[in-house]
């Protein structure tokens, strides 16, 4: 699965977000800094979502497995 990063030039540098991942957004003075910051933002969103999911399922019976998006759309 590939995600789409959007970089918009603003007077202070660049703002960036991922179209498909709500909450993954950042900024940077340069395009490279915005790219680096966006990768960190994506990792933080995924980590936070995992934590919240595990917290909400605590004490409940559930199945956890890896889901390969490439296989889902093959």
- What value does the mean pLDDT take over residues 51-70? 91
Q: What is the pLDDT of residue 73?
A: 60
Grouping H, G, I as helix, E, B as strand and the rest as coil, residue 70 is helix
- pLDDT one-digit tens code per residue, 26-60: 999 999 999 999 999 999 999 999 999 999 999 99
Instruction: Say what the pTM is.
Output: 0.83
Q: What is the pLDDT of residue 71?
A: 66
Under the banding of pLDDT at 50, 70 and 90, the label for residue 69 is confident
Domains of the chain: 5-72 (3.30.160)
> What's the distance, CA 72 to chain centroid?
19
Distances (CA, A) of 31 to 12, 21, 51, 67: 11, 20, 30, 32
């Amino acid at each position: 699965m590939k995600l789409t990063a959007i970089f918009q030039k603003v007077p202070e540098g660049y703002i960036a977000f991922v179209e498909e991942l709500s909450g993954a957004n950042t900024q940077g003075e340069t395009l490279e800094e915005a790219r680096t910051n966006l990768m960190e933002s994506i990792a933080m969103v995924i980590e936070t979502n995992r934590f919240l999911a595990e917290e909400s399922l605590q004490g409940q019976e559930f199945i956890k497995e890896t889901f390969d998006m490439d296989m889902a759309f093959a």
